[in-house]
Amino acid sequence: MRNLFFLTILLLPAAVSAQSSLYLTPGATFYIEAGTAVAVDSLVLTPSGAYTITGVNGLQRSATPLHNGSNPHISRVYQWNNSLAPFTGDVTIYYRDTELNGLGENVLALNVHNGSGWNAYITNVIRNGTGNFVTTTLSGIALNELTLGTAASGPLPMVWLDVYAQRRNGLIQISWKTADEDNCANYQVEKSANGTNWTNLGNTIKANNTTGPNNYSLNDNNLPAAISFYRVRQNDLDGKYTYSKTVAVKNDQPGDVWLYPVPAGNVLTVVAGGNLQLRSVNIYNTAGSLVAYAKPQHTASYTINVQQLAAGTYSAVIVLSDGTATTRTFIKR
């Protein structure tokens, strides 16, 4: 018989999110034995092998996803602050009838954002409309956001594996990798100076339409004066499209800090320049009250969930790895 552990750990201030369920502090480790089911706020993970979640990380529940491009879904979305290591085992999501958003229980499928894009899993699924849960067996899938939604009856168009941008020989090379391409027409790289307004960079690149892995790249000959953001748009033959995650290339001026997108929507990403890393990010409202915070660990870029903040102006106080503090003002729309 499998062991079942129920966890509801509320360690974040209420101002961060009323639905925060689990938070791991820097250096913390959460170990799950093989075959042990761990339930957090009606999300159940049962790894087939020993599995470890490390801090800084946290899980929260929302009615809407942070990442665009998801299929129609129920109003229950689980979001990790940082993507988990590839997971193999069973993922079960329990739901209420009032959260179905008109979707039929007999067609619900696990939808996972792996940090690069959304994918729906329509095989190895157990649906229980009486018990109100869906269990799906995954193999080596990174977990960033999870929900139950619809899925096309045919094969998935493609799977985002990775996307990155780097300086190389006086230019910027944007590279991306995909798998399981089907019905894909082409790819288009988009560029932005603020993470909000985007323009096309270069010509479209024809998709290979193979199981992959498929590797693509495009060069940008214009080095950024401060920072440039890049994302890849994947276009289907039927007119549908998805976006990769956004990546950034910055200059190397010490002390520089950037926020994007401007204005912010559901998320705000903080980027440190000068080969420095982020130590802490505290967000204050106009009254000076702390409304959100994060303690990134060994990273120069960190994305914070700010969808719970009311529209308005906020100040972000960012402390870098060299001890310097910088304040940046941003607008939440």
What CATH number does residue 320 fall under? Answer: 2.60.40.1930
Whether residue 110 is contained in a domain is answered as yes
Whether residue 6 is contained in a domain is answered as no
The reported pLDDT for the residue numbered 1 is 43
Q: Which amino acid is at 284?
A: Y
Q: Name beta bridge partners: 31.
A: 52
Q: Indicate if 104 and 31 belong to the same structural domain.
A: yes
Q: Indicate if 177 and 66 belong to the same structural domain.
A: no
The reported pLDDT for the residue numbered 169 is 81
Domain at 168, CATH number: 2.60.40.10
Q: Indicate if 63 and 77 belong to the same structural domain.
A: yes
- Residue where a domain terminates, one of 150, 173, 194: 150
Q: How many domains does the chain have?
A: 3
Helix (H, G, I), strand (E, B) or coil at 57: strand
Q: Indicate if 204 and 244 belong to the same structural domain.
A: yes
Whether residue 67 is contained in a domain is answered as yes
Domain at 51, CATH number: 2.60.220
Please say if the pLDDT value at position 244 is more than 90: no
Q: What is the pLDDT of residues 71-102, one digit of tens each?
A: 788 989 999 988 899 999 999 999 998 889 88
Q: How far apart are CA 42 and CA 33, in angstroms?
A: 19
Q: Indicate if 293 and 181 belong to the same structural domain.
A: no
Range scoring the smallest mean pLDDT among 14-23, 46-55, 305-314: 14-23
Q: What is the pLDDT of residues 124-176, one digit of tens each?
A: 999 998 899 999 999 999 999 999 998 754 444 577 888 989 888 888 999 99
Q: Indicate if 204 and 228 belong to the same structural domain.
A: yes
DSSP state of 274: T
Confidence of residue 317 (pLDDT cuts 50, 70, 90): very high
What are the phi and psi torsion angles at 304 (to 5°)? Answer: -110, 140
Q: What is the pLDDT of residues 250-274, one digit of tens each?
A: 766 666 788 888 788 888 889 887 7
Q: Indicate if 239 and 183 belong to the same structural domain.
A: yes
- Residue where a domain terminates, one of 201, 227, 250: 250
Over residues 61-73, mean pLDDT: 79
Q: How far apart are CA 275 and CA 253, in angstroms?
A: 8
Whether residue 79 is contained in a domain is answered as yes
Q: Indicate if 146 and 31 belong to the same structural domain.
A: yes
* Burial readout 261-276 (b: 16 or more C-beta within 10 A, e: otherwise): bbbbebbbbbbbbbeb
Range scoring the smallest mean pLDDT among 17-26, 237-246, 277-286: 17-26
Greater confidence (304 vs 6) lies with 304
Whether residue 7 is contained in a domain is answered as no
Please say if the pLDDT value at position 17 is more than 60: no
Greater confidence (214 vs 241) lies with 214
Q: Concatenated DSSP letters for 184-238?
A: EEEEEEEEESSSSS-EEEEEEEE---SSS-EEEEEEE-S--SSEEEEEEEEEETT
Q: Indicate if 26 and 59 belong to the same structural domain.
A: yes
Q: Indicate if 52 and 123 belong to the same structural domain.
A: yes
| pTM of the predicted structure, to 2 decimals | 0.51
Residue 179 domain boundaries = 160-250
Whether 92 contacts 43, CB under 8 Å: yes
Q: Indicate if 111 and 141 belong to the same structural domain.
A: yes
> Residue 175, Cβ neighbours under 10 Å: how many?
17
Whether residue 16 is contained in a domain is answered as no
Over residues 280-304, mean pLDDT: 87
- Residue where a domain terminates, one of 250, 277, 311: 250
Q: Indicate if 107 and 129 belong to the same structural domain.
A: yes
Whether residue 8 is contained in a domain is answered as no
User: Chain centroid to CA 159: how far?
Assistant: 14
Greater confidence (15 vs 316) lies with 316
> Whats the size of the chain, residue-wise?
333
The reported pLDDT for the residue numbered 194 is 80
Q: What is the pLDDT of residues 173-224, one digit of tens each?
A: 999 999 878 888 999 999 998 877 899 998 999 999 888 889 999 999 987 7
Whether residue 239 is contained in a domain is answered as yes
Range scoring the smallest mean pLDDT among 51-65, 241-255, 318-332: 241-255
Whether 186 contacts 236, CB under 8 Å: no
Helix (H, G, I), strand (E, B) or coil at 261: coil
Please say if the pLDDT value at position 10 is more than 50: no
